[in-house]
Chain A
Amino acid sequence: MDVIMALLIGLLYAAGIFMMFRRSLVKLIIGVILLGNGVNLLIFLLGRLVKGKPPIIAADAKVLVEGAYADPVPQALILTAIVISFGLQAFAIVLIKRAYKVVHTDDLDDINTREEEE
């Protein structure tokens, strides 16, 4: 499973980057989202995968049973990262809207003024 998961994460990175190479602003943002998903899964994978053992202390227990639970730290990190990227993505999506209103295109090359021009 680890191998396939790792490959999948690699593909998510690849897809995210590929989308960021495109000319459309929307695709760019989608790429950003894909990358975000990829990195979250990477944190998840590198915290090691454990099946069916959520880090929740049972109603009648006071501690988690040694070794028989998924590492809660990566989960907490991912939660924070997800929320943060949501904030950024939300703003970026609205930026698309604003950009379209101002520039009337979603083509990044049309949004461009070459830096050496002006």
Chain B
Amino acid sequence: MSLEYYLLYIILPILVLSALLVFVRFLLGPHLSDRVVSVDLLMTIGVGIVGVYAMATAEATFLDIAMILGLLAFLGTVAFSYYLIKRKKND
């Protein structure tokens, strides 16, 4: 079994499956926070997916996407937290 095959047909599906599971939580909610956790986790998994894809296609450039993905996912979480508190304050 070549590494490429292993990555593309075993690891990547597992990661995508995980992403889908996370997405189930996103759909279920029930709170906005649950969705935010899901999105955050989704992005983190995305980092993994992109990393694996970079290895499988031997394109190191994709790893940079992983980096930015990680960076920005965090910012999204910060923003939503900001929102939750602001909204509470506003009530």
Binding site for B on A (CB under 8 A): 52, 54, 56
Contact with A along B38-60 (1 / 0, CB 8 A): 00000000000000010011010
Contacts of A54 in B (CB 8 A): 59, 61
Bound CA–CA A54/B61 (angstroms): 9
A72 to chain B, nearest CB (A): 14
Interface residues of B in 22-70 (CB under 8 A from A): 53, 56-57, 59, 61
Query: What range describes how many residues of B lie at the interface?
Result: under 10
Contacts of A52 in B (CB 8 A): 53, 56-57, 59
Q: Contact at B57–A56, with CB atoms within 8 Å?
A: no
Bound CA–CA A56/B62 (angstroms): 11
A78 to chain B, nearest CB (A): 16
Bound CA–CA A52/B55 (angstroms): 11
Bound CA–CA A54/B56 (angstroms): 14
**What residue of chain B has the Cβ atom nearest to residue A56's Cβ?**
B61
Contacts of B56 in A (CB 8 A): 52
**What residue of chain A has the Cβ atom nearest to residue B57's Cβ?**
A52
Bound CA–CA A56/B64 (angstroms): 14
Contacts of B53 in A (CB 8 A): 52
**What residue of chain A has the Cβ atom nearest to residue B62's Cβ?**
A54
B76 to chain A, nearest CB (A): 15
**What residue of chain A has the Cβ atom nearest to residue B56's Cβ?**
A52
**What residue of chain A has the Cβ atom nearest to residue B53's Cβ?**
A52
